[in-house]
Structure 1
Amino acid sequence: MSGFRLISTVGAFCLAATCTASAVSAQASVEPLEDCFFAAPETTPPVAQECGYVVLPENPDRPDGPEIKLGFLRLPAKAENPKAPLFMLAGGPGDSFIKPPTHLLFGDAFLGPILDERDVVLLDQRGTRNAIPTLDCPSAYSLPWEAKERGLDEAEMLELSWQVLADCVADTRAAGVDLAQYNSVRIAADLDAARQALGYGRIVYYGASYGAQLGQHYMRDFPDSLEAVILDGANSLSRKSWVQERVRDVDVATRKLAALCAADAKCGAAYNVTEMVDRAMALFDEGPIETTYQDPADPETQLAITLTEADLAETIFGFQTGQIGIHALPAVLDTMLADGRASAAALLGDQKGAAIVASRGATEGGSAILMHMAVVCSDDPVTSADDMIIEPDASAYARAYGAAVLEEYVEFCRAVDVPSLPDDTDVDVTTDVPTLILAGDLDARTPVIRSELVAETLPRATIVEFPQGTHVQLGEINQCAGKILRAFLDDPDATPDTGCIADMPRRGFVLPDGTISVQ
């Protein structure tokens, strides 16, 4: 493990709504903040914001024990008598919606009209950036630089990573934090406590990525609190392990990308995506590639870099996770293959070297690592290669990516050592609540097949699939998805008008000469 990629005993948990909700909501309170977590960015029209904390017990079964605080940011409705509020929860787990870019979603051309009739509440989950305590591991972010300075090989780096994590876990527990309370069931109960403490009856729930998985726990435990649900980039609860389907999902997404390129006359004439991915992986048949990296900002900083197939696999996957990257991926592969191992060394070496240099002195990243670990590893810990499904015809790329993810989560779960949730939390939810599921056809994290599994057991669910979408449609500022979402809020039982999908502009692929294909 070359640094964090963010890519036991069974405890007793209170799962029923009558058990958890009453215990938590009776003790939850609101602590307003005079100054919000950040100044509201300038938008047209301006968006007001109210901030504070929902304060509640870390463990509702121990009401006299430690308290936690969940940051919230409320965007108030313009109407005097607003409709049910929209609660929005982020993914990760460990990410946050309480940050300036989220405001940009509420411009008039995207989600702004929602504020005409509804409050919007951005709620941070326990352990994340705007929660107290925040469960992070600052010393983990500089590990790539530290390992390079020490001259550690991959095995030594893996052991150092585990030790740093284990030390952070020990320090967190010594500070009085009960990591066993940081799981999806508790977070779902927190959401209902926040709903009541903020003075709301039924709500509409929106969850992105892990937030979509969390939403299913909320649907199971608190169905009467819901008017409707939007799941964006969903995975089913019946996927037991965090790594179980990674290999299969990556292959599904790559095949769809290859088909999309082949259907584009210019892309199809220039590239064969499947063959290029296979050829790129074959560059490592002779073993790792050795190269050097010189920091452009500090030429005296020169690093010896060892590149492995995991570095290549993670690079490919990174390009698959966003609109710009995925349409550039064939051109990137073409450049990488131009001179075999030499061109791969140049491209991948620059990327890996820059990441190592950037980690020097780093103390934070995009997610709260320990919160991420606790939630993932309570939802069935990853312990061995047996936790991952690998089909006989799986590609070399998918196998390499899956192996890298598996290695990371085995170390995470070994370090955090939290109790597993009961098996009945691995059952797909069957709640009779109107549900809109947004899915991207090119999504390598939660392919459409995952959304289809979620919808199978939800009698009032509708999937809307976006042909060129990757992961999380609101995150891509998908205007059509925003329009469909707003219409769903107006009438959750109506069949959504998806006509805007045919009118969506089609992005072209980057061609070898730097121009963009026309679809």
Structure 2
Amino acid sequence: MAKELARNRAGACVLKPLMSLIVVLYCGSVAAQEPAAETCYLDGWSQPLHCYQVPVEPGEQPVKLAVAVAPAVNPDGSEPLYLLAGGPGQAASDLVPLLSSFTKVNRNRDIVMVDRRGAGRSGAFECGIEEDFPADLDAFAASVGQCYEEQQQRTNGLYSRQTVDDLELVRAHLGHGKIALWGGSWGTRTALLYQQWYPDSLSALVLDAVAPIETKVFLSAQAAEQALQQLQDACLEDVSCAGFGDWRADLDRLLAEWEQGDSRLADPLKGIPVERRVPRWEVANAIRAALYDPGAAAQLPYVIHQAARGNLLPLSGLASLFLPASDSMSMGLTFSVACAEELNRISTEEMEADSRDTFLGTGFIDLFATGCSVWPVAERSYPSPEVREHPVLLISGSADPITPPSYADTRLDYLNHKQHLVVEGGGHINSRRGCIPTLIAEFLNSPAQPLDTQCVSEIRRPPFMADAFGPALDAAPLANLEGKAND
């Protein structure tokens, strides 16, 4: 989503003078009236939203969080659904396009988006690398280190416990009783922590692309490799895709020889090489990022086949969608959380083991290890999860390159009432695909009832790209059309 447009439109989201923290806490303990809101619009959703500036920290310069609410069409008293964004570093307001898929949820319940401190319209903590990514890791470290020095006072004040506490203050300020949470990617981690720390405020959880509390999700090279292997297997079963031969071997050679050649991609609009040399890790990360989206992944066999034969235009076009892949993140927030809570518990030996025999290698983890080396925040650990009884709906893509289904299957023994939907061939975040939005609505309305999940098996991968014009046309329907034309 275009963050700048969202921020400009959010200028209308202004409330009356701030209440003290004591009053906010008190409002959570009584049946408070919903505070006044301004009407605002965010890019990706045409309907008006209710916008608030919620105070979460008093002082001479009070901290306020931007909150946007899609009001229920026909409210019936159902608890609201809060959307928790990923990253860490993405803003919940960037999830507005989800509303078009969650119309059944929105029929009877509010949908709430809270931009956490340091993200989106709640004082985005940016470092200048979000849209102008440095050319190499040395330049990357220099840019990140400069950002730390210039805004050091913010770095230790952004962490998951604070985010969860802020979310609880927002819930109380809006006068909500129990709430349901939808979390995507890192947002599932936030949701699980909220469940641990504020269980009495929670009714149910929907977790898409699950990042369990105890899992080291930044070790993702093996998961990306498994996703690529699933893509290769699916390609072999497709007539047009199988014609590309051993494109996986082409990828290995391409990456191995990348920096020995010109190592420059072409401008996808002009068709001429760009001035900046693109390092191997950046190309590998573009391949990894394409695996997040089944539609982009379906282009990879053709793109790699062409690149191995000297035509870099298709690769340039696909890579342009994901390079840089940080433009939806507030990178100051990303490093403040990731360095304190994730990278500090990953050893060099674990990085080496995860990267071994993978196309990605250390290309992803090196970015964060490099950034965290110049971002010295205090380490923060999580408590061991306690058993919780809330109904939980888990959603995974079988070909997710960072949070595979095994995370949901094997790492959540402390959740006693869970259902797991696995989308075959699905990438990262599947809440908008096929019948999944309907199942989410059914789950929230009757969370204790088992879902009829037959429809999930009907969700298919998009067709593979066959040539520069896209997927191959199915000959059978064409023959039928020709037969009808001749009748």
Distance 1:271 1:374 in 2: 44
Structure 1 position 41, deviation (Å): 4.3
5 Å matches for 1:414-493? 414-422=373-381, 424-425=382-383, 427-428=384-385, 430-474=387-431, 477-493=432-448
Code of the residue aligned with 1:315 in structure 2: it is A
Q: Secondary structure at the match of 1:404?
A: coil
CA deviations on 1:157-214 (whole Å, 9 max, x unpaired) are x3333233223223223xxx44222111111111111111110111110011111111
Where does residue 226 of structure 2 map in the other structure? 252
Distance 1:500 1:178 in 2: 46
Where does residue 284 of structure 2 map in the other structure? 313
Code of the residue aligned with 2:343 in structure 1: it is P
Residues 266 and 417 of structure 1: CA distance in aligned 2, closer, same or farther (over 3 Å): same
Code of the residue aligned with 1:137 in structure 2: it is C
5 Å matches for 1:23-62? 25=25, 34-36=38-40, 38=42, 41-42=45-46, 47-57=47-57
Moved more, 369-378 or 306-315: 306-315
Q: Secondary structure at the match of 1:496?
A: coil
More relative contact order, 1 or 2 (CA 8 Å, 6+ apart): 1
Residues 223 and 440 of structure 1: CA distance in aligned 2, closer, same or farther (over 3 Å): same
Structure 1 position 408, deviation (Å): 1.3
Residues 247 and 41 of structure 1: CA distance in aligned 2, closer, same or farther (over 3 Å): closer
Residues 447 and 487 of structure 1: CA distance in aligned 2, closer, same or farther (over 3 Å): same
Alignment pair present for 1:501 and 2:466? no
Where does residue 209 of structure 2 map in the other structure? 233
Alignment pair present for 1:127 and 2:127? no
Structure 1 position 371, deviation (Å): 0.8
Where does residue 142 of structure 2 map in the other structure? 163
Structure 1 position 76, deviation (Å): 1.4
Residues 118 and 274 of structure 1: CA distance in aligned 2, closer, same or farther (over 3 Å): same
Where does residue 13 of structure 1 map in the other structure? none
Residues 119 and 309 of structure 1: CA distance in aligned 2, closer, same or farther (over 3 Å): same
CA contact (8 A) 1:233 1:440 kept: yes
Code of the residue aligned with 1:211 in structure 2: it is G
CA deviations on 1:69-110 (whole Å, 9 max, x unpaired) are 1111111123354211111111111112325x72x5444xx4
Distance 1:159 1:270 in 2: 37
Distance 2:266 2:229 in 1: 36
Structure 1 position 428, deviation (Å): 4.7
Instruction: Find 1:290's aligned residue among 262, 280, 300.
Output: 262
Q: Secondary structure at the match of 1:456?
A: coil
Structure 1 unaligned blocks of 5 or more? 1-20, 58-62, 148-153
Where does residue 365 of structure 1 map in the other structure? 327
Distance 1:206 1:25 in 2: 24
Code of the residue aligned with 1:329 in structure 2: it is L
Structure 1 position 143, deviation (Å): 4.9
Distance 2:463 2:40 in 1: 41
Q: Secondary structure at the match of 2:55?
A: strand
Q: Secondary structure at the match of 1:460?
A: strand
Where does residue 83 of structure 1 map in the other structure? 78
Q: CA RMSD in A?
A: 3.5
Where does residue 479 of structure 2 map in the other structure? none
Structure 1 position 220, deviation (Å): 0.9
CA deviations on 1:468-506 (whole Å, 9 max, x unpaired) are 2111113xx313110110110111111111111233355
Distance 1:381 1:501 in 2: 35
Q: Secondary structure at the match of 1:217?
A: helix
5 Å matches for 1:139-178? 141-144=131-134, 154=136, 158-173=137-152, 177-178=153-154
CA contact (8 A) 1:455 1:461 kept: no
5 Å matches for 1:182-331? 182-240=158-216, 243=218, 245-268=219-242, 270-272=244-246, 274-284=248-258, 287-290=259-262, 303-331=274-302
Code of the residue aligned with 2:54 in structure 1: it is V
Where does residue 368 of structure 2 map in the other structure? 409
Structure 1 position 235, deviation (Å): 1.4
Where does residue 18 of structure 1 map in the other structure? none
Residues 65 and 517 of structure 1: CA distance in aligned 2, closer, same or farther (over 3 Å): farther
Code of the residue aligned with 1:124 in structure 2: it is D
Code of the residue aligned with 1:34 in structure 2: it is E
Code of the residue aligned with 1:404 in structure 2: it is G
CA contact (8 A) 2:241 2:302 kept: no
Distance 1:390 1:194 in 2: 42
Q: Secondary structure at the match of 2:120?
A: coil
Residues 293 and 203 of structure 1: CA distance in aligned 2, closer, same or farther (over 3 Å): closer
5 Å matches for 1:390-405? 390-391=352-353, 394-399=356-361, 403-405=362-364
Distance 2:390 2:376 in 1: 35
CA contact (8 A) 1:428 1:454 kept: no
Q: How many residues align?
A: 449
Structure 1 position 372, deviation (Å): 0.9
Distance 2:396 2:321 in 1: 31
CA contact (8 A) 1:89 1:206 kept: yes
Distance 2:251 2:222 in 1: 16
The alignment-based identity, stated in percent, is 20
CA contact (8 A) 1:25 1:192 kept: no
CA contact (8 A) 1:266 1:517 kept: no
Distance 2:196 2:119 in 1: 23
CA contact (8 A) 2:396 2:429 kept: yes
CA contact (8 A) 2:303 2:315 kept: no
Where does residue 60 of structure 1 map in the other structure? none
Structure 1 position 275, deviation (Å): 3.3
Code of the residue aligned with 1:75 in structure 2: it is A
Residues 26 and 516 of structure 1: CA distance in aligned 2, closer, same or farther (over 3 Å): farther
Residues 239 and 105 of structure 1: CA distance in aligned 2, closer, same or farther (over 3 Å): closer
Q: Secondary structure at the match of 2:40?
A: coil
Structure 2 unaligned blocks of 5 or more? 1-20, 477-487
Structure 1 position 515, deviation (Å): 3.5
Residues 405 and 40 of structure 1: CA distance in aligned 2, closer, same or farther (over 3 Å): closer
